[in-house]
Amino acid sequence: MDMRWSPEELAFRDEVRDFLADKLTDEIRECGMLMTSVYADHERSMQWQQILYEKGWAGPAWPKQYGGADWTPVQRYIYTVERVRAGAPPVSPMGIQMCAPALLGFGTQAQKDFFLPRMLTGEHFWCQGYSEPGAGSDLASLQTSAADDGDFLICNGQKIWNTHANVANWGFFLVRTGKYDRPQKGITFLLIDMNTPGVSVRPIISYTGEHLQNEIFLDNVRVPKANVIGEIDQGWTVAKYLLEFERGGVAYAPELQVRLDQIVDAARETPTGGGGTLMDDPTFAVQIAAARVEINALEAFEFRVMNAEGRGDVPIAAASAMKIRGTELQQLTTELGMRVAGRYAMAYQPAAGLPGGPVTYPHQPDYIGPQFAALAPLRYLNERAGSIYAGSNEIQRNIIAKALGL
């Protein structure tokens, strides 16, 4: 495997750099630079998605016939590297990166023609309805029901930890349409208009004051069977396919490399009692070097996956492996960031960042200590969830063990 970019790939990198330099406004760049979780400020993220849509880049992996860019895995990787370095925010993954692959893989032509264009423009903004109070990591135990009623399914139940359900006008849900010998059977993948009578959303406000998560209640919600993706009772297959994109559809290493660079830059500006900076501390320097080695190893693995994907031969359980190492290293970098922040991390300053949803406090550009130190504890606390969401890392290890026949 040749890990050098080809002349065509280098030309694409230059095109991306020029585009970012031309189109990335200060306001949108600030949104990307002050993120405290995996989600950017909703309004500015949607502005950025519109810019990408006008360029034809809103759906990087989509086929061109549906308005996508049809980029190769390498092009998508290059774009991610340049986006993170430039400070551009990501677009919300729920529609374009998660529901869209399920539609492309299992949807009817009518479903693709209706939903995909509206995902790209942002007319439809999506949320996910998977987890329930009694069905988190053990997702197959979900109990939200969908009873047959002619051309409709009547849905009743509760979903939880639904990111951006408060602003979404569509959601993709897993519902139980039958009971069989295995809990994975009898689950259906269903698209629900969030404005349908009987759908209600209740906010879950985090300790940081952010409103990202929600509960969704379905009370006799009538959903056309035309909104079923795949076949009734066979939604587990669709869900597993989608989870591959949630767990490993985006490379982790580009952002991790930039994060570590930012930590090193901040450490070089952080004085110590001996007259030098934190980067002069041998113990801390070894920790930085060890983190760099781990991130480089992950990057090499992601290159291998890209190479295999280009041949149509993705390694077994690659998405699970990427999810485990990616989220573990995300947490590691925030721990190093806390070391740099030092005593300033004790001053909890949630208004220093720009989170991905409404907050109970306004953003404040003035804070105690350096900006990096003000953001460090916010990112540290948010990344604690990384090894839990999208299937806990313990579940991912079980998937890998099963794939290897262990």
Q: State the catalytic residues.
A: 246
Task: Report residue 83 as tokens.
Answer: 């986006």
Structure tokens at 212: 């990202």
Residue 214: is it exposed, middle or buried by C-beta count within 10 angstroms (0-12/13-18/19+)? buried
Closest residue by Cα to residue 57 from 15, 87, 111, 7: 15
Q: Is 405 exposed, middle or buried (0-12, 13-18, 19+ CB in 10 A)?
A: exposed
CB 135 within 8 A of CB 144: no
Helix (H) and strand (E) counts in the chain: 13, 8
CA atoms within 13 A on the CB side of 392: 11
- Torsion of Cα atoms, 41 then 43 then 44 then 46, to 10°: 110
List, in sequence order, the alpha helices (H) in 155-281: 235-248, 253-268
In angstroms, the Cα distances linking 396 to 151, 288, 317 are 37, 27, 8
Q: State the virtual CA torsion across 204, 209, 211, 216 in degrees, nearest 10.
A: 0
Q: Are 328 and 397 in contact (CB under 8 A)?
A: no
Nearest to 326 by CA among 309, 304, 307, 301: 301
Token pair belonging to 238 = 């669709």
**List of residues 6+ apart from 136 with CB closer than 8 A:** 161
190 in Cβ contact with 223 (< 8 Å): yes
Round to whole Å and give the CA distance between 29 and 120. 21
Q: Look-up: residue for tokens 């990307």? A: 32
CA angle (64 as vertex; 236, 6 as ends), nearest 5: 100
Place of tokens 């009987």: 198
Name the β-bridge partners of 156: 145
Cα–Cα nearest to 240, from 228, 230, 252, 226:
230
